[in-house]
Amino acid sequence: MGPKTPPQLAGKWQVLCMLSLCCWGWVSGQLHYSVVEESEPGTLVGNVAQDLGLKVADLLSRRLRLGAEENGQYFSLSLMSGALAVNQKIDRESLCAASTSCLLPVQVVTEHPLELIRVEVEILDLNDNSPSFATPEREIRISESAALGARFPLDSAQDPDVGTNTVSFYTLSPSSHFSLNVKTLKDGKLFPELVLEQQLDRETQARHQLVLTAVDGGVPARSGTTLISVTVLDINDNAPTFQSSVLRVGLPENAPVGTLVLRLNATDPDEGTNGQLDYSFGDHTSEAVRNLFGLDPSSGAIHVLGPIDFEESSFYEIHARARDQGQPAMEGHCVIQVDVGDANDNAPEVLLASLVNPVLESTPVGTVVGLFNVRDRDSGRNGEVSLDLSSDLPFQIKPSENHYSLLTSQPLDREATSHYIIELLAHDAGLPPLHAHLTIRLNISDVNDNAPYFTQQLYTAYIPENRPPGSLLCTVAASDPDTGDNARLTYSIVGNQIQGSPASSFVYVNPEDGRIFAQRTFDYELLQMLQIVVGVRDSGSPPLHANTSLHVFVLDQNDNAPTVLHPRPGREFSLPQRLPRSAPPGSLVTKVTAVDADAGHNAWLSYSLLPQSTAPGLFLVSAHTGEVRTARALLEDDADTQQVVVLVSSDGTLKYMEVTLRPTDSHSHCYRTCFSPASDGSDFTFLRPLSVQQPSAFAPEPDAFRSRSNTLLERSQQAPPNTDWRFSQAQRPGTSGSQNGDETGTWPNNQFDTEMLQAMILASASEAADGSSTLGGGAGTMGLSARYGPQFTLQHVPDYRQNVYIPGSNATLTNAAGKRDGKAPAGGNGNKKKSGKKEKK
């Protein structure tokens, strides 16, 4: 036997080991692979399991898989072999464009322990793209007077590939007039230019066709071509001419706008820009003519732009010119004379005398809202005017002696129609009749005749506990079909009480936009739901209002660490704990019982042994009950002192305990327990020796008990487990397993009852440890059977989800002096009682 390690040094060593394991378990290493783009699905990229040193037999239990990352769609990972393969064809150009390096990060996840491995897959370029030009044909216009050596830039070809697979050089088809020059830019790109080598002559050859080819550096090489069309431009040496220098045309008055008056046609024998003509008014054209007529610069068409009135003018003269686009430009001139013919050109006129605008939507039917006058400068039947109104409007026209009245004919509703476009049409009796119209917009003003309403009758919001004040809960929205102040809404919290306090002390609503915020930090263990009434009121006179309901649910967070109830803390005994070497496998050594004040998954506890035992494999612990038993018989060469470390965890929060056992040759073993914090401040709990007479039988069964307090233990002794201290739970959540039963009784239904129940059970447990009480149907049970029934469950107690086991009182106790407080029943270790159902995972 070697020297013993001091408890303080052992505790520090265990903490350092656990921190190292945790840090290694999250992210481990990084792998790099490469694969050529456009590889077929199933192409092997690399064997992740082999490169990570994982055994093929362990892959299934380690659950090797790809992480949740968008690049995972391109690859697949075999769970049987650990091979990473292409899942679908990969186009490097679509993923990385022209980037020289194309890396796809992939995450690989293993469990037991949980590890995250970062894998980088480099996509290698394949010469699968040919150089291409933006357009299949490029046109270049060169004057026949261009100087030799002139350079004309050409379009560069584009190749999505990179490196040597991109464009390498250009070639030009043979030509006696042109050659090709290629420049290399700073970024390595090639820039082709066309160079004039021989003087051009349009009369000899007006057009040249060349082929530009771009070739990449791949093997085999790919190429792309574009057609270069060179047009030789003529020198401007001819002026435009009209058919006649004076043109005459007739035009009726009142010709509509857009009427074609004349289309000019000038010619120019030159070609290209030298023969392209632009038409415009001459310098002698008056401003009045420019306002009445328009000239299209491209086609030479003259159109009517304004009203042509014979009474205003019966003759117009337009000066026009045609100019080519040569350098220098040359132009020709002509005069257009326009004769205007007389016609019935005076249309009726509608004049607005008075208008009520806006009109209240509560205006009675038959109310006059507008007055109009009509007139026509013509005489006789041409001056007789009628005024009409559309029949689908809630208005009507009533003629009077010298005017017309506009009256309401139906009730008005601004929410249905906020305004009306009223078009009054006047026409005379001439042949053909002339018409005139007047369009007015009549607005309808609002009255507060609609109450606001919420878009939902019930809003639901969720907020995790411990969120800081000011957290946004939700946004309520209301609408009001009215407008202006009648639709200006103000939100508020309608007065109601929550746990004796105003609802406004819990939440705050922005009066302008309806956003609702938390006024305080919520504790799920104290309050699970709030029922709030939110009101909205408009600013009309009188104001109208509406209410809606808001249910705020507080979500539990894992903010409470497990609390060990058994063995009890705060006690330390000097007598050694003894374990007979003849104890068979399955002998109960001790039982660790803990609770968690959280709810749901956050309160599910599990027990496990850490590999710090002196003899590995000697002990095992039940993951759900916390029972520590021998896994095999003690051997002669086993150490005289055995240390067992128990880990209690609840979804991320941990509690450690260490038990020290001393095997003896005696046929009985006894133990007491105590707790003391580790010297380095870590959350360790140590079990110290205590001599207790071994009970004749152990029949432990997981008991259901949940509590949020860890300070109610007041006594030091704890009796061994006994069936008088069993409590069944109809269904235990999570890792605690499940157990069905037909027990009935009254259950604790609130937090106070739960804490009182805990205090009663723990006090009775202490009395049982002294041999003075049992938790069965006897008299010393503090009223548990009378209050909750002879058998009861705690699955409906709010905020508590973990089983608690408290040993019974029928075992024989031996104090430090060796005196016995009771008589132990005869028998050996007894048989364990199996639960009715398998434990849920």
| Closest CA relative to residue 613, chosen from 648, 644, 647 | 644
Q: What is the CA radius of gyration of the chain?
A: 49
Structural contact between residues 456 and 549, judged by C-beta atoms closer than 8 angstroms: no
Q: Give the mean model confidence (pLDDT) for residues 444-466.
A: 92
Could you tell me how far CA 459 lies from the centroid of its own chain? 21
pLDDT tens track for 751-780: 444 444 444 444 444 443 343 333 333 333
* pLDDT exceeds cutoff 50 at 366: yes
For the segment 694-710, the average pLDDT, to the nearest whole number, is 34
Query: Helices in 27-143 by DSSP H: which ranges?
Result: 48-52, 59-62, 92-96
Task: Evaluate if residue 717 carries a pLDDT over 70.
Answer: no
* Both tokens assigned to 822: 């009771």
Secondary structure (3-state) at 315: strand
- Helix, strand, coil: what percent of the chain each, to 5? 10, 35, 50
Say which residues have a Cβ less than 8 Å from residue 36's Cβ, sequence separation at least 6: 123, 124, 126
The model's pTM is 0.39
- Backbone CA torsion sign across 378, 380, 381, 384: positive
H/E stretch holding 463: strand 458-464
CA–CA dist 722, 725 (Å, integer)? 6
d(CA 583, CA 634): 7
SS3 565: strand
User: DSSP string spanning 18-35?
Assistant: HHHHHHHHHEEEEEEEEE
Backbone angles phi, psi at 59, to 5 degrees: -65, -40
pLDDT range class, residue 35, cuts 50, 70, 90: confident
Q: How many CB atoms neighbour CB 831 within 10 A?
A: 11
Residue 723, pLDDT > 50, answer no
CA distance 161 to 91: 11
Structure tokens at 229: 């069309």
Give 127-181 pLDDT, tens digit per residue: 778 888 989 999 999 888 888 999 999 888 888 777 778 888 999 999 999 999 9
Q: Which two tokens stand for residue 25?
A: 């378990």
Of the listed ranges 29-33, 378-382, 727-731, 765-769, the least confidently predicted one is 727-731
Q: What is the DSSP letter of 3?
A: P
Judged against a pLDDT cut of 80, whether residue 531 lies above it is answered with: yes
Res 815: pLDDT? 32
Using alpha carbons only, give the angle 610, 611, 616 rounded to the nearest 5 degrees.
Answer: 130
Please give the span between the terminal C-alpha atoms of the chain, in angstroms, as a whole number. 41
Does the N-terminal peptide bond of residue 502 adopt cis geometry, omega within 30 degrees of 0? Answer: no
Calpha distance 345→313 (Å, rounded)? 13
Q: CA separation (Å) from 365 to 368, 395, 420, 830?
A: 9, 9, 16, 100
Q: Give the Cα separation of 88 and 304 in Å (integer).
A: 66
Q: How far apart are CA 721 and CA 702, in angstroms?
A: 11
Strand order in the sheet with 260-263: 260-263, 301-304, 293-295
Q: What's the chain's average pLDDT? A: 74
- Dihedral sign for Cα 812, 816, 817, 818, please: positive
Q: Which two tokens stand for residue 805?
A: 């086991």
Closest CA to 606 of 624, 581, 631, 586: 624
Q: What band does 124 get if pLDDT is binned at 50, 70 and 90?
A: confident
* Residues forming a β-bridge with 630: 619
What tokens does 763 get? 């006090």
The 3-state DSSP class for residue 71 equals helix
More confident residue, 238 or 316: 316
Task: Give the mean pLDDT of 493-509.
Answer: 89
The Cα 619–Cα 629 span in angstroms is 6
Please count the residues of the chain. Answer: 841
Residue bearing the bigger pLDDT, 743 or 505: 505
Token pair for 668 = 């009985």
316-340 average pLDDT score:
91
- Whether residue 420 contacts residue 393, with contact meaning beta carbons closer than 8 Å, is answered with yes
Query: pLDDT (tens digit, 9 = 90+) per residue, 610-662?
Result: 876 667 788 889 998 989 898 888 888 888 787 888 888 887 677 676 666 76
